[in-house]
Amino acid sequence: MTGTDHAVLLLRLAAPLQSWGGPSRYNRRETRPQPTKSGILGLLCAAEGRDREASLTDLVGLQLGVRVDQPGTLLRDYHTYSDYRGLPLLSAKANAKGQQTRTTPPKYTGVTQRFYLQDAVFVAALRGPRALIQGLDKAVRHPVFPLSLGRRSCPPTGPVSLGLRDDTGLEEALKEVPWQAGTHRRRQAQGSTVSLEATLEDPNGDQLAVDVPDTYDLKTGTRFARRAVRHLWITVPTGHTQTDSPAADTGAPGPSDHDPFALLGW
């Protein structure tokens, strides 16, 4: 159901590096192949200047749709860490008082693995009450805190907001947005259209995503709730005519709509 009391906010999420870790913690920080609801809501909270302890009740009710305009590639980054005071690192053990003990024998350097998406581009659509959506659009354009795509080390490139749309379904909203891929990916495209993977929040969806946060409070930690989603493909124009493709120059038949390597960015 749509109506005049709701609206849709469209966001372009592009950067050299993004990381949408979800529940991953400790020394191995993974990334999902698409932006998570937790990560996008965190970006909106930063834009509004909300404290970590602030309620998320109004935001978790927003419906989210994500379109993969450029999937990017996976990067594993090697990290080391140590105590700046030169002390041995803390171990996983605790003493009788519940305090962590130092490593024995002493260990001064630890290793973590962190994963990122390189050169990925996504379009996110958020549907909710018009007043809330308008306020979020304004906040994203004039953020209180710096915006990041999953981690603080991943600032976005270019404007994030693609503007507001009158109330419509998430699928319809994502179909209206021109292809946002980079120049190199556009040059690889053949034909006049391209099929892009999308994930839409849908109460009748046949899959579950565990990425709805209850809080960002560091003292209590975040617990993630489930939401139902469905996956689909959305076809958008590439901006090329059929005569622009290499097939048209050689007389060879054009490619079919099905491209098994599209998700790899080939």
* pLDDT tens-digit series, residues 104-153: 888 989 888 899 999 999 999 999 999 999 999 999 999 999 999 999 99
Q: Are 246 and 254 in contact (CB under 8 A)?
A: no
Determine the structural domain holding residue 47 and report its residue range. 6-74+117-264
Residue 107 belongs to a domain: no
* pLDDT tens-digit series, residues 37-63: 999 999 999 999 999 999 999 999 999
Helices (H), 158-198: 170-176, 183-188
Residue 89 belongs to a domain: no
Residue 51 belongs to a domain: yes
Q: Is the pLDDT score of 242 beyond 80?
A: no
Residue 244 belongs to a domain: yes
Residues 6+ apart with CB under 8 A from 260: none
Residue 97 belongs to a domain: no
Residue 111 belongs to a domain: no
Q: Helix, strand, or coil here: 41?
A: helix
Q: How many domains, in total, are found in the chain?
A: 1
Q: Helix, strand, or coil here: 189?
A: coil
- The length of the chain in residues reads 266
CATH of the domain at 160: 3.30.70.2660
Residue 147 belongs to a domain: yes
Residue 178 belongs to a domain: yes
